Amino acid sequence: MKNRFAVTACRFHAKHKNKLLIMGWFWNNLKNDNKLYVLLDKKRLRVDIEERDMFMSELRSKDGKLITKQYYLWVDLPKDWKAAKKLRVINDYGTKRDVSCMLTIDRLKRIEGKLPKYIDKGIVTESGFSISGWYIDTDHVKIGFYDMDGKQYPVTMVSKRRSDVLRLYPEVEEEDVVGFTASYKGEVPKKVRVHLQSDSKKTDYVMPLRMSALEKKGAGLKKGFEKAKGYYHQYGAGSTIKKILGKITKRDNISYREWYKAQTPSKAALAEQRRKKFSYMPKISIVVPLYKTPENYLKEMIESVKEQTYSNWELCLSDGSGSDSPIKNLLKTYEKEDKRIKVVYHNKSLHISDNTNAALEISTGDYIAFADHDDLLAPNALYECVSELNKDQNIEILYTDEDKVDMKGKEHFMPHFKTDFNIDMLRSANYICHLFIVKREIYEKAGMLNHEFDGAQDYDFVLRCVEQTDNIRHIPKILYHWRAHKNSTAENPESKKYAFRAGAKAIQAHYDRTGIQTEVKMTPYDGLYRTRYILKDSPLVSVVIPNKDHTEDLDKCIRSLEEKNKYTNIEYIIVENNSTDPETFVYYEKLESKYPKAKVVKWDKEGFNYPLINNFGVEHANGDYILFLNNDTEILVEDCIEEMMGYCMREDVGAVGARLYYEDNTIQHAGVIVGLGGIAGHAFVGYDQDDPGYFRRIVTAQDYSAVTAACMLVKRKVFEEVGGFDEKFAVAFNDVDFCLKIRKAGYLIVYTPYAELKHYESKSRGYEDTDEKVRRFNSEIELFSKRWADFLEKGDPYYSPNLTLDKNDFSINVHMR
């Protein structure tokens, strides 16, 4: 089989004008005996070749082989290179050779003349526009933003560290990489020209912000043509045609606007819903507090209720505007038109809780739904909820997905695709929000809204309701539209700081009611809270660390436990796994001598079997809690173990995972999504350390189906209850299988972002890139797929079916249309 070389990128050195970088990878993963050289016309150029490990987020599969290596070809160009005609990359393997890439000198000149930069995205905001990207500043670069007539926009620039760019430009210093987000408040032009100019170069990028459908189509075709042209230069005409056909028959991405349009029920479907007669037809009371609501918003909200395809509802409105209410006449009109609309009026202005309670008092429904006075319900909102109730009448709480809608009620954006019920996420943020429907019996047990928590009165109410039942159902459909405007908490946090303080107070009250000793704190992210558990005692934690040679990694790990960690009741079980370096055993002796809490136990069976090695370590552990830790990890925060223990000591929790970073401070682990990539994968791999992720999930304590065993704290009794790790998963998916067994036994798996570690990513074992390892990897995939077939078919409850399983960035699932 040919070991072809695929060129993926070509650029000039950021500092040396006559040095070219060509990047690529081999179809057999490794270069082996292949010879790469570069010809400028017929002249062979000097080339330095670097072999580099790809990051996990960059790995790919080619013909059943995992591609883990990439090659950098640093090419020295002669001073007169512009007088030549073309440059070719030649891949020589024995008696055959390929032209891996051919570039004309004109194209190289165009590449040379451009500043290294990339514009990630441009979006229209409520108040203007925002453009983000990066550029390399080694030559006094200045950046400006203009419309197509030359008018400059005074933007506010916020800098951002771009470790992803540093990986692509290893020849520059960190301060040379400028990541930015530029924001402008004011009228939005159709296009913005981003102009970058240095002492020797200049370049422009036109970012379309407001385009017609025809213009969007043209821009997409142009972009597609440029991609196809680059693909043609790498792979030839045949492969390019196949690629284009694949794009035509199966789209790789989709905008939310397209997705929403495709998911919205047709008129025929809505008509069919109206004709549907359920066997169970509960009355739903939609409770809405009003306060001097703009008439157009009020009309749209009421009309969205009247348009419901399920008819057994009542709309309970409380007008807390006071005696001079500007909406009283409009409400009287609606009362006369539809007897299902009920209004209670007040002679004085009411606080939000008292106003909502007044609407609750006139409700008579079997279930109570809550809405804000300027928001909209999807026409099938109540129908979908009643449909679920007919499948299971034990359901006592329902909630749905939601999105934002603009002031005109036309443009939908910012969809929130939620997890199934997630108690630890709810204790971190009110992710449930809208649409929330609760059975009357639960509402009566929980009690009415409490004005003590005004600003977060709905958060407090939701927490009190979920304390009363486990029969909670999430409907993964966008059924509620939250109108976004500058005075809302979501769009202008500074306007309602009191609301966020009330949120912390509501969570603390919840913990107090449930008897869990905690301290709730606000975080730098408004509306997101951190729970610190108050530990009554400090049970022994046994840290199990498998190790084979690599004593520098192990020593760094142990020193971080000794010097940074403040949890003292701890022991170290080092599982020695067939080390060959004599110095390793010298180190073990020193380790046990220096730290009496350290114990080295010898695993003398051949081969690497992670489950057996760790199970063996647990047999020698004395603690009631086991911390599984890779030898190539380093604790970064002093309360790392305390943070994990707070969750793990709860009766309902079986295991706890941490936030792990690569050496370059990008995310290595922030929870595991079962089904991602076919079997399971880490969420947000490669994201920057300070990126909060999709709806801030990177920085939110929450429940997941699984976490990585590179750092996992487990109750010993739970470990023994589920039988520990399964030896059949020698290398891959053993931690995911283990976590799913814990979930099946009825325990939660918690991810906490506040336990932070560096993970130097399996240096001691290497990637799965040999034929033997690939065969073993595939057999473990097959075993996992059979064992957890039902789980994979139903989907991970902590990940929305509306989100893709092809990428780890929580983007929209293109197949959900």
Q: In this structure, what CATH number is given to the domain that contains residue 198?
A: 2.60.40.10
Query: For the segment 700-753, what is each residue's pLDDT rounded down to a tens digit?
Result: 999 999 999 999 999 999 999 999 999 998 878 999 999 999 999 999 999 999
Residue 768's nearest CA partner among 740, 725, 730 is 730
Dist CA 725 CA 678 (whole Å): 21
Instruction: Give the range with max mean pLDDT: 234-238, 741-745, 770-774.
Output: 741-745
- What integer best gives the mean pLDDT of the chain? 88
Residue 546 burial class via C-beta count within 10 angstroms: exposed 0-12, middle 13-18, buried 19 and up: buried
291 in the same domain as 439: yes
Would the pLDDT of 470 be above 90?
yes
Dist CA 133 CA 121 (whole Å): 7
- Is the Cβ–Cβ distance between 670 and 684 less than 8 Å? yes
Token pair in block for residue 204: 């422009």
Dist CA 464 CA 459 (whole Å): 9
Containing 555, the helix (H) or strand (E) segment is: helix 551-563
Instruction: Flag whether 231 is in a domain.
Output: no
- How many CA atoms does the CB half-sphere of 445 hold within 13 Å? 14
The pLDDT > 90 percentage for the chain reads 64
Would the pLDDT of 542 be above 90?
yes
572 in the same domain as 458: no
Would the pLDDT of 219 be above 80?
no
- Of residues 708 and 490, the one with the higher pLDDT is 708
292 in the same domain as 305: yes
- Is the Cβ–Cβ distance between 155 and 184 less than 8 Å? yes
Per-residue confidence (pLDDT) for residue 253, from 0 to 100: 58
164 in the same domain as 123: yes
Per-residue confidence (pLDDT) for residue 771, from 0 to 100: 63
Tell which of 460, 493, 526 closes a domain.
Answer: 493
Which residue(s) pair with 628 in the sheet? Answer: 544, 712
Would the pLDDT of 232 be above 70?
no
Would the pLDDT of 248 be above 80?
no
Residue 701 burial class via C-beta count within 10 angstroms: exposed 0-12, middle 13-18, buried 19 and up: buried
717 in the same domain as 637: yes
306 in the same domain as 202: no
Instruction: Flag whether 257 is in a domain.
Output: no
- Is the Cβ–Cβ distance between 153 and 106 less than 8 Å? no
Token pair in block for residue 164: 């992803």
Instruction: Flag whether 333 is in a domain.
Output: yes
How many other β-carbons are positioned within 10 Å of the β-carbon of residue 197? 16
Radius of gyration of the chain (CA): 30
191 in the same domain as 78: no
Would the pLDDT of 419 be above 50?
yes
Would the pLDDT of 815 be above 70?
no
Per-residue confidence (pLDDT) for residue 773, from 0 to 100: 66
Instruction: Flag whether 227 is in a domain.
Output: no
**Mean of the pLDDT values across residues 88-98?**
85
Residues 6+ apart with CB under 8 A from 148: 189, 190, 191, 193, 206
Per-residue confidence (pLDDT) for residue 115, from 0 to 100: 85
Residue 116's nearest CA partner among 95, 100, 128, 133 is 133
Per-residue confidence (pLDDT) for residue 246, from 0 to 100: 43
Give the relative orientation of helices 295-306 and 328-337 as an angle to the nearest 10 degrees: 20
Query: For the segment 513-540, what is each residue's pLDDT rounded down to a tens digit?
Result: 999 999 999 999 989 999 999 998 999 9
Provide the domain count of the chain. 4
Would the pLDDT of 184 be above 90?
yes
**Mean of the pLDDT values across residues 132-151?**
91
Tell which of 493, 527, 558 closes a domain.
Answer: 493
What φ, ψ does residue 130 adopt, rounded to 5°? -140, 135
pLDDT class for 806, splitting at 50, 70, 90?
Answer: confident
Would the pLDDT of 45 be above 90?
yes
Per-residue confidence (pLDDT) for residue 505, from 0 to 100: 95
Residue 803 burial class via C-beta count within 10 angstroms: exposed 0-12, middle 13-18, buried 19 and up: buried
Per-residue confidence (pLDDT) for residue 346, from 0 to 100: 94
Dist CA 669 CA 713 (whole Å): 15
- Of residues 610 and 308, the one with the higher pLDDT is 308
Per-residue confidence (pLDDT) for residue 225, from 0 to 100: 46
What φ, ψ does residue 265 adopt, rounded to 5°? -60, 140
**Mean of the pLDDT values across residues 371-389?**
95
| CATH number, position 741 | 3.90.550.10
How many other β-carbons are positioned within 10 Å of the β-carbon of residue 167? 16
277 in the same domain as 401: yes
Per-residue confidence (pLDDT) for residue 774, from 0 to 100: 66
Instruction: Flag whether 164 is in a domain.
Output: yes
Per-residue confidence (pLDDT) for residue 150, from 0 to 100: 92
Instruction: Give the range with max mean pLDDT: 578-592, 626-640, 768-782.
Output: 626-640
- How many CA atoms does the CB half-sphere of 573 hold within 13 Å? 24
CA 132 from chain centre, in angstroms, equals: 19
30 in the same domain as 128: no
Instruction: Flag whether 614 is in a domain.
Output: yes
Dist CA 38 CA 47 (whole Å): 7
Instruction: Flag whether 180 is in a domain.
Output: yes
- Is the Cβ–Cβ distance between 187 and 211 less than 8 Å? no
Dist CA 542 CA 622 (whole Å): 7
728 in the same domain as 654: yes
Token pair in block for residue 105: 């000198």
Per-residue confidence (pLDDT) for residue 770, from 0 to 100: 59
How many other β-carbons are positioned within 10 Å of the β-carbon of residue 223? 10
Per-residue confidence (pLDDT) for residue 211, from 0 to 100: 59
Would the pLDDT of 492 be above 90?
no
Query: For the segment 661-687, what is each residue's pLDDT rounded down to a tens digit?
Result: 988 888 999 999 999 888 899 999 888
Would the pLDDT of 214 be above 70?
no
Per-residue confidence (pLDDT) for residue 56, from 0 to 100: 52
Would the pLDDT of 227 be above 70?
no
Instruction: Flag whether 812 is in a domain.
Output: no
What φ, ψ does residue 293 adopt, rounded to 5°? -65, 130
104 in the same domain as 132: no
488 in the same domain as 631: no
Dist CA 464 CA 432 (whole Å): 13
**Mean of the pLDDT values across residues 293-300?**
93
Query: For the segment 253-288, what is each residue's pLDDT rounded down to a tens digit?
Result: 578 888 888 889 999 999 999 999 999 999 999 999
Range of the domain at 87: 5-112
Per-residue confidence (pLDDT) for residue 604, from 0 to 100: 83
- Of residues 738 and 54, the one with the higher pLDDT is 738
DSSP class of residue 605?
Answer: S
